[in-house]
Structure 1
Amino acid sequence: MVASLHLQIISGFVFLLAAYLLKKLEAKRGREPLPPGPKGLPILGNILQWPKEAGWKTFAEWRRTYGDIVYCNLAGDPWVVLNSPQAAQDLFEKKGSIYCDRPYMTMSSELVGWRETLLDIAPYDERTRELRRLITKQLGSKTNLGGYADLLQTQVQRFLRRVLDDPESERLGTHIRTTIAAVILDIAYGYEVQEKDDPLIRLADGTLKELVQVLTPGAYLVDSLPLLRHIPDWLPGAGFKRVAARMRRHREELVDTPFLRVKEQLAHGTAKPSFTASLLEQPGVTSADEDFIKAAASIIYTGGSDTTIPNAHSFFLAMTLHPSAQATAQAELDRVVGPDRLPTLADRPMLPYVDALAREVLRRYPAIPQGLPHVSREEDVYAGFRIPKGANVIANIWRFCRDPATYADPLAFKPERFLGPTPERDPRDFVFGFGRRVCPGINLADSWVFLAVAMSLATLSISPATDADGNAIIPKEEHTTGVISYPKPFPCSIKPRSSKAEALVRALD
């Protein structure tokens, strides 16, 4: 067994050396050059230079030296970083048929098994296309949200009530996660969350944190050296396999538990209307159909919950730091909506500044700063550079949102940039993905963000917390560095704007 392992490792290094020499040989054949990038080591390439944290910042720094298109070689695995929104649009949208695949990450796709139940990393095959069609139809178009407006309204109102009942800033993230989970679990499974310590939310929180961990490029060596997946569990260095086994159990429990609950309720005639129930009730459903429905329902939850949480949390950080923007939005709400009701989605066209503020939050704090990698299905040439077949291509969304050629004074928080006769580019062009890989729930997510912003501004006053001497504690704009980026915990003060506003929030079943 040990001899076999040694042979596998030696074979792996021989393969990497051959790939390295082939790359050198191809470069001498007069073909278009690869994009510029940092000089790497033989065989290992740039694997030691690849950022482990906040890669979007490193990629933006590389742009100063190498330009908008940067090439890296991670132990024979080609990676291309796009630092301009035009490049992302040209490749991912205009050439969507070439760049519609996702990389096969051994840890997340194979060892943990997320490839079957997470659309973001699935290959762009017929199964993925059918799943996307089904989910897009269920979640509604831009003009038809499938009757979810009332659900969004109710759940945001419950969120506001939770905040007023427990306004400590340390609990804000919990309130946000509970609310978003309540929306998506209701849609997917007809599941009504418990107000405190819901078991499914508790399971989901832990599982989705693990998902973020395994999706981070470079987090596990086995993604760069897939042969390592064959080493015995008992050998030193095989700890990743035990981690993967634990993560797989959690993933399977998260996928199976709510689905089996709906099946049991259907058998007893107690199931609430939901995505899962409506599909399972169709005649002639086979076991293969059930697996497909289970995957689709899981995709709605896992794909929608963890990316909208940072948006809501970042809104509260922005309002803590920018009181003038908050005051301007509240003045518009008072003028258009008035003090006797809460804003609704129907008010959106009459609330241009509030809408612009929501977009500025998306721009200033993108939830997936470096995007999810696309894979080129064939060799391509762009801007005079060769992009190899099988290259992993990343859009540096964080840099797009700070591109001075796109946004004047990009580090400033300025909702008004999206108003007037010549508004700046809508960040929703970037932050929900590109081309054939755009988020299938984009319209639902966008509506939720707007409604959460509008209803919070209408009823809450958000300001810096104060210390024992009454001095304002101004938080720093610090975010976590995983593939999904959240604001780090920050102090803030959250109070009702008025007794009438509080009464509106609490006027709920």
Structure 2
Amino acid sequence: MLTLTNVAWLNLLCLAGVGVYLLMRVFSKKNPAPYPPGPAGLPLIGNVLDMPQIKPWLIFTEWGKKYGDISHVEVLGQHIMVVNSVKTAMDMLEKKSTVYSGRPVLPMAGELVGWKHSLPLISYGDRFRQHRKNLHRIIGSRAALEVYNPIEDIETRRFLKRVFETPDQLQEHVRHTAGAIILRISYGYEVKENGDPFVDLAGRALDQFSRATHPGAFMVDFMPFLAKVPEWFPGAGFKRQAREWHETVEEMVSAPYQFVKDQMAAGIAPKSFISDLLEDHTLTAEENDIVRWSAVSLYGGGADTSVSAIYSLFLAMTLFPDVQKKAQAEIDAIVGPDRLPSFADFNSLPYTEALAKEVLRWNVVAPMGFPHRVTEDDIHNGYYIPKDSFIIANIWSMLNDPETYANPSEFNPERFLASDGKEPETEPRTICFGFGRRICPGLLHAEASVWLFAVRSLAVFDISKVVEDGVEITPKVDQLCHAGTISHPKPFKCSIKARSAKAIALIEQDANY
């Protein structure tokens, strides 16, 4: 009996998809203007083979140099526009936000895995606005964030003590503390010191989200009929993977939410995002669902992106000791050695503020952001942008553009400080958190967290290169991206030591909360 291999089955499915694509091309109307320029692609399959899987932002940057601010590719009928300049991103995603604020329908991440109700994937509309309204109450203004400053204070103190005791576990300490902060804010949950189940759950879920939403990672996103293929079908391994990931999503949505409800029923729930929204309110089933998913958006957004940024901070301090010394000199002069810096010192430490900004620019957390979808046909700068096109803003390229940032590979906080008549360079916050109506709602919290981690770590620690067998080890600046949306620095070694006996006393004294 003849059988088909997995590859043969997939080839047949792809041929079917190509057939549909060809019919669409045959019967499609004449375009009112040309598409933006881009790689030519191949007959029938278009640019399937041109879509990069490893560090795509680098390939997209090369496209920008060759084709201009907007590059166009087409993958089995799906139009994708890659934007490489800030001006074009602003003109399209900000000024035309009524047309450019949609989100792609991603069968893998949204339908199969189950993220379709999360803020990044919701279509623009009433549900989206309610999510944003919920989040704005908690993290949408500096005044709202101040309520949760004590949580940031306590958890960063605990972070210093963990790092002091086991500096070789830096990455784990960063992840643990970022999770602890956002879980306290979202659910009033205080994490366990080791192996906390909710921190581990967030790590798994967000890694899976990053993989599932990576442009081009799953053919089902371009050929949605593949979602109907049964799990046992040859070549349908993505269906089994989606089922496993779906279980993680369900747990992430339900478990911490139920924790809050149980605490409230017992009358012992501390103040949190969820308790504020539930207290003295009778919610409809839909409102209840929006509350659950709003918390997931807060929990998810704060538990992964902050990890990448803070880990990048330690990498930068390892590689750029002169920057570290300047920041420490400012902290020593303004704060002194007898206490830790706090949010009250923010306006008095301009160099350290600039350093935190440079962290966000130098090693980009989300190099391509998250794709927008065009909800109507548009003509932009003479180019045709058809309805339902994906718009990918190449944030990495924008933050590494030498015409905007002098010597972009150099970690230089002074680029954001005016001096000798020189204007500061462009604020990274106008780029790194996205554009238009889809801008990250947690940007103020992210900036505050990175600054507090930076100023307190530099107040008490000297960070330097490791010396092994008499040889100084220089970490490489490289981003680890498991074909995902969020990028992290590759693990690296560094030496972290207390600056003085007074620093040790501060770490030991202030961690005992």
Please state which band the TM-score falls in when normalised by the shorter chain. Answer: over 0.9
Counterpart secondary structure, 2:496: strand
Task: Report the counterpart of residue 102 of structure 1 in structure 2.
Answer: 103
**Residue 393 (str. 1) matches residue 391 (str. 2):** yes
Change in CA separation of 1:41 and 1:8 when aligned onto 2, cut-off 3 Å = closer
Does structure 2 conserve the Cα–Cα contact (< 8 Å) formed by 1:466 and 1:472? yes
CA deviation profile, 1:293-336 (whole Å, cap 9, x unmatched)? 11111111012211111100000000000000000000000011
Matches within 5 A, 1:262-411: 262-411=260-409
Task: Report the counterpart of residue 137 of structure 2 in structure 1.
Answer: 137
User: How does the TM-score come out when normalised to structure 2?
Assistant: 0.94
Does structure 2 conserve the Cα–Cα contact (< 8 Å) formed by 1:9 and 1:227? no
Counterpart secondary structure, 1:219: coil
Q: What residue identity is the alignment partner of 1:483? A: T
Counterpart secondary structure, 1:78: strand
Q: What residue identity is the alignment partner of 1:490? A: F
Does structure 1 conserve the Cα–Cα contact (< 8 Å) formed by 2:17 and 2:76? no
How far apart, in 1, do the equivalents of 2:390 and 2:185 lie? 33
Task: Report the counterpart of residue 26 of structure 1 in structure 2.
Answer: 30
Q: What residue identity is the alignment partner of 2:130? A: E
Task: Report the counterpart of residue 255 of structure 1 in structure 2.
Answer: 253
How far apart, in 1, do the equivalents of 2:291 and 2:61 lie? 40
Matches within 5 A, 1:52-451: 52-116=53-117, 118-168=118-168, 171-420=169-418, 421=421, 422-451=423-452
How far apart, in 2, do the equivalents of 1:286 and 1:32 lie? 47
Counterpart secondary structure, 1:309: helix
* Number of positions where the alignment pairs a residue of Structure 1 with one of Structure 2: 498
Change in CA separation of 1:229 and 1:348 when aligned onto 2, cut-off 3 Å = same
Does structure 2 conserve the Cα–Cα contact (< 8 Å) formed by 1:8 and 1:227? no
1:91: Cα distance to partner? 0.9
Does structure 2 conserve the Cα–Cα contact (< 8 Å) formed by 1:73 and 1:79? yes
User: How does the TM-score come out when normalised to structure 1?
Assistant: 0.95
How far apart, in 1, do the equivalents of 2:212 and 2:49 lie? 19
How far apart, in 1, do the equivalents of 2:349 and 2:27 lie? 58
Change in CA separation of 1:336 and 1:484 when aligned onto 2, cut-off 3 Å = same
Change in CA separation of 1:40 and 1:22 when aligned onto 2, cut-off 3 Å = farther
How far apart, in 2, do the equivalents of 1:264 and 1:150 lie? 24
Deviates more, 1:436-445 or 1:6-15: 6-15
Q: What residue identity is the alignment partner of 1:20? A: R
Q: What residue identity is the alignment partner of 1:165? A: E
How far apart, in 1, do the equivalents of 2:222 and 2:486 lie? 21
1:288: Cα distance to partner? 3.2
1:10: Cα distance to partner? 7.1
Q: What residue identity is the alignment partner of 2:438? A: R
How far apart, in 2, do the equivalents of 1:244 and 1:72 lie? 27
1:285: Cα distance to partner? 2.7
How far apart, in 2, do the equivalents of 1:115 and 1:354 lie? 39
Q: What residue identity is the alignment partner of 2:133? A: R
Does structure 2 conserve the Cα–Cα contact (< 8 Å) formed by 1:34 and 1:387? yes
Does structure 1 conserve the Cα–Cα contact (< 8 Å) formed by 2:139 and 2:442? yes
Task: Report the counterpart of residue 502 of structure 1 in structure 2.
Answer: 504
1:461: Cα distance to partner? 0.5
Does structure 1 conserve the Cα–Cα contact (< 8 Å) formed by 2:202 and 2:303? no
Q: What residue identity is the alignment partner of 2:504? A: E
Counterpart secondary structure, 1:462: strand
How far apart, in 1, do the equivalents of 2:107 and 2:35 lie? 26
CA RMSD of aligned residues (A): 1.8
1:287: Cα distance to partner? 3.3
How far apart, in 2, do the equivalents of 1:363 and 1:9 lie? 40
1:143: Cα distance to partner? 4.6
1:453: Cα distance to partner? 0.7
Does structure 2 conserve the Cα–Cα contact (< 8 Å) formed by 1:380 and 1:386? yes
How far apart, in 1, do the equivalents of 2:461 and 2:269 lie? 36
1:367: Cα distance to partner? 0.1
How far apart, in 1, do the equivalents of 2:162 and 2:100 lie? 43
Does structure 2 conserve the Cα–Cα contact (< 8 Å) formed by 1:140 and 1:146? no
1:278: Cα distance to partner? 2.0
Does structure 2 conserve the Cα–Cα contact (< 8 Å) formed by 1:120 and 1:303? no
How far apart, in 2, do the equivalents of 1:446 and 1:272 lie? 25
How far apart, in 2, do the equivalents of 1:292 and 1:436 lie? 19
